[in-house]
Chain A
Amino acid sequence: MDIADIHKNSKLLLDGVPYNVVEADFMKPGKGRAIYRLRLKNLFDGSALDRTFHSGEKVDEANIRAEEKQYLYKDGDYYIFMSTDTFEQSFIAEEQLGDKKSFLKDGDVVNVLMLDDRAIDVTINTFVELKVVKTEVSSRSDTITAQNKQAVLETGYIINVPPFIKEDDILKVDTRTGTYVERVTTKK
């Protein structure tokens, strides 16, 4: 497509790598060629890139769409997802998933960003509920002084929690910060 049709949040493909347009700055000498200065975010690794284009240049639009998929299981270094619609499976490398892997549990339905037929990213809900699989029992005095302690969640993520949290409790976690929000249910 023509560079003039690129706006903020357009998705481009440069040398096979998909980018999101974070900022598009239009500059033009009165009598001269239009210059487009783009701030781009690499959709594979999140890195930033600044590129300058001029009027008349063509760029490839990245065919990117979000699809609802269920996280099935982890196989070696790959996380396997399945479309809830077509049952097609796709995978994302653990490395590419980054911190998001801490908040994905088997059976979760998430939005997976697809570049053509390739999964490149997932959108995790802002809040997720995860079960505590391991934490130390707090003594009475710890409870009074309200010292936080560590707990291991079912995804393997280690989180700071208040002393009253016990194993098998289900916690609400803020995925933006990776922090504890509240206890949802407690072991009967």
Chain B
Amino acid sequence: MADAEYRRLAHLKPNLERRALIYQFTRAFFRGRGFLEVETPVRMPEVAPEQHITPLASEDWFLSTSPELHMKRVLAAGYDKIFQFSHCFRKGEQGRGHNPEFTMLEWYRSRANYQQMIHDTEQLIVTLANELQFGHHIQYQNQDVDLTLPWPRVTVRNAFRYAAGWDPLAEPDPERFDIDLVTKVIPSFPPCRPIVLLDYPAVLASLACLKPSEPVVAERAEVFIGGLELANAYSELRDQREQVRRFREEIRQIQRETGRAMVIPRKFLKALVRLPECGGIALGIDRLVMLFCDAGSIDEVMLFTVDRI
């Protein structure tokens, strides 16, 4: 056993060297654009109630599922561009692209919307590819991926009509949505290009605001490369009453489906009234490292996955 660990850890070193470079270049990228690196708590009394994200308890509190609520409290205090590498914990998430403890790179920009956050993501990943000496092409799992900007955009409506044969905006069905997204829509994306999936159904808005011109659509976008779901962007919701309504609905669903009791995140909601117009995005750093290391599984870029602790 000890031998197997010794060999595995030694074998991971080149990927971890690259991981360290990705952190270094990412920090330089954000600092160069005037972002402040922040650190918010990993252990907290309240997390955003989300039906499909189960927090891990730590005594009477929780381990962070996302730094989002605290980072928005920082924005509400007048910080206009912030970023963070943050350890997040989500119960039961374990697979080739998941580990219950993982690292999120999250950044926020005031006076920005989801499209601008996607633009930042394009710039960041192309910058990293250049710094890592890849140029505009990377190889991922025997596939050439062309990172040339801009990346193709497809709306959720068109992607689902094409790959799954139905329109999730016309007939919202969150359960069918998740299954078809994973089994039909993502596999239909051409593997040779990154893709931005945007304009999610309002029922899947979470903490995003709705499009004023088309309120069945949430201003939410996701970036996929090589079949990996890499990043999720919002034009952030600032309407306190709407946010309370959505949290209550989530809490009700969680209670009904799992019997878990969740509380409304009060400090966050109090700060929300001061939140400037802003965009935010969360990017799974482990998956980004997988992409740049041509790793098919998260355990190739992480020293100790949960089954090896």
A residues in contact (CB < 8 Å) with B = 4, 25-35, 37, 52, 54-56
Contacts and interface: CB of A to CB of B under 8 A. Distances in A.
7 contacts: A26-B98, A27-B182, A32-B174, A33-B52, A33-B175, A35-B179, A56-B257
Contact of B178 (A4, A26, A35): A35
Interface of B: 50, 52-53, 92-98, 174-175, 177-179, 181-183, 204, 206, 222, 229, 232, 257, 282, 284
B52 A25 contact: no
Contact of B52 (A34, A37, A52): A34
B227 to A, nearest CB: 10
B92 A25 contact: no
A33 B179 contact: yes
Given A25-B95, A25-B96, A30 B179 contact: no
A30 B232 contact: yes
Nearest to B205: A31
B96 A31 contact: no
B62 to A, nearest CB: 18
Contacts of B183: 35, 37, 52
Nearest to B282: A30
A34 B229 CA distance: 14
A29 B181 contact: yes
**Interface residues of B: mostly helix, strand, loop or mixed?**
mixed
Contacts of A30: 222, 229, 232, 282, 284
A32, A33, A37 interface centre (most CB from chain B within 10 Å):
A32
B232 A54 contact: no
Given A26-B93, A26-B94, A31 B179 contact: no
B182 A35 contact: yes
Contacts of B94: 26
Contacts of B284: 30
Contact of A27 (B50, B53, B97, B206): B97
A4 B181 contact: no
B181 A32 contact: yes
Given A28-B98, A35-B183, A54-B175, 15 more contacts: A26-B93, A26-B96, A26-B98, A27-B95, A27-B97, A27-B182, A28-B93, A31-B50, A32-B52, A32-B181, A33-B178, A34-B52, A34-B93, A35-B179, A54-B178
A25, A26, A30, A37 interface centre (most CB from chain B within 10 Å):
A30
A31 B53 contact: yes
Contacts of B229: 29-30
Contacts of A29: 178, 181-182, 229
A26 B95 contact: yes
Contacts of A32: 52, 174, 177-178, 181-182, 204
A52 B257 contact: no
Contacts of A25: 95-96
A29 to B, nearest CB: 5
B52, B174, B222 interface centre (most CB from chain A within 10 Å):
B52
Contacts of A26: 93-96, 98
Contacts of B182: 27-29, 32, 35
A31 B93 contact: no
Q: Which 9 A/B pairs are nearest by Cβ-Cβ distance?
A: A26-B95, A32-B178, A33-B178, A35-B182, A27-B182, A33-B52, A4-B92, A30-B232, A29-B181
Contacts of B206: 31
Contacts of B232: 30-31
A54 B204 CA distance: 17
Contacts of B174: 32-33
Contacts of B222: 30
B92 A34 contact: yes
